[in-house]
Amino acid sequence: MEAMTKESEPSPQEEANARVEAAVKRKRVIRSFPAASFEEALQFARGVYEYGSGKPVRRLSIFDHLGKAPESGPSRQLIVNASKYGLIKGSSSSELLELTPEGLICLNDDLPRREIVKAEIKLAIDSVEPFSKLYQKFSGNKLPAKAALIDSIVEFDVPQDLADEAVDTFIVNCRFTGLLQVLSGAERLVGVDHLLDTLPSSSMSAVAASQPAYSEKSTASSGLMTSESAQFESICFYVTPIGEDGSEQRKHADLFLGSIIEPALDNLGLKVVRADTIEKPGTITRQIIEYLLKARLVIVDLSFHNPNVFYELAIRHAARLPVVQVIRASDRIPFDLSQIRTIKIDTSDIYTLVPRLEIYKAEIASQVRRALDDPDSVDNPITTFYPDWRVNFSS
């Protein structure tokens, strides 16, 4: 009887294959907008720019340089997104990839900042029809509630089931280009002319020190699914400094969990679990490791530079599973993690934090989607330097 039960249960490999197939089906969606933020597509375009010094590059060569499989789903998606934004010419089957004239402008730091931002707005907003229409509708006004943005973008022929993702990407793109700013204590979509008038006419190299720097990446993997861990498919494990009741770290963890992390994942079908809210009995360390190895997603809060957090992050990195990183803007990102996408949240005071809550939630939701949509690629210090290295865990 026991043997029959074991035979009827899917093997870990069968469940892993089913998970990959489900991910492929999720990707077979026709979007009228790119499946990533403009900033992420720009990072890929910058790799093309730096590798070829602005000249056309062989598709196979650039992915070999980046340490990625050229025929993988995530690699093809990089090309699709960069092409949809008008950053590059070429498809996932092209022999050569070439930057567009506007893409070259976006990546040329010797040009005046005003010219670069103008090109970024053209590609990130104007060239994407639903984003352009949404911006035109609300430009010059306070950013409306997300539900209102969703209702509006559905009117612009974005399917209801993709509207939430489209709005998140729109918000992230507006913030990246500078079109979404906090003015008079509220998030506002400023006019293009207003934005350009505030920018220096000198080159980027002359003003680089005064510009916000963004260096972020995100990724995902799979393969640890077993029948016992099926419950973890709907779990996001939140790794954060917790501290004692009433401590600054506990207040910080509660604030991020209740006001940013959970709301950001509301529409993504994930339940957020923190170590102190694990319900089942057992040794807490064992349970934490179990969540690190089995949860579909982990969000790691690097604030306070807590050693336990970094230890747990290393376990997740070794398992090559999806991670999204956040941190207080006042904390320094450690050097070894500085090249991984990390969402910086400014908690300097309530007047700075509250007006930006919707932006932070949209950034997190966008990064979570990217992490879950790319189950075959992981970007962290281990995979960067040892791309073929694997660790096998048994339940």
pLDDT in tens, the chain (395 residues): 444 444 455 655 555 555 555 554 555 568 899 999 999 999 999 999 999 999 999 999 999 998 888 888 889 999 999 999 999 999 999 999 999 999 999 999 999 999 999 999 999 999 999 999 999 999 999 999 999 999 999 999 999 999 999 999 999 999 999 999 988 678 899 999 989 988 877 664 443 444 443 333 333 333 333 334 457 889 999 999 999 989 999 999 999 999 999 999 988 989 999 998 886 666 778 899 999 999 999 999 999 999 999 999 999 999 989 999 999 999 999 988 988 889 999 999 999 999 999 999 999 999 999 888 875 566 788 887 787 777 776 65
pLDDT at 15: 59
Q: What is the pLDDT of residues 290-334, one digit of tens each?
A: 999 999 999 999 999 999 999 999 999 999 899 999 999 999 999
Token representation of residue 314 = 């290393």
pLDDT at 135: 97
Domain boundaries defined on the chain: 31-105, 109-210, 227-385
Check: CATH 1.10.10 for 31-105?
yes
Neighbours of 17 (CB within 10 A): 15
What is the amino acid identity at position 158?
V
Neighbours of 160 (CB within 10 A): 10
Query: Any bridge partners for residue 219, and if so which?
Result: 323
pLDDT at 373: 81
Neighbours of 213 (CB within 10 A): 8
d(CA 80, CA 68): 15
pLDDT at 85: 97
pTM score, two decimals?
0.75
Architecture of the domain made up of 227-385: 3-Layer(aba) Sandwich (3.40)
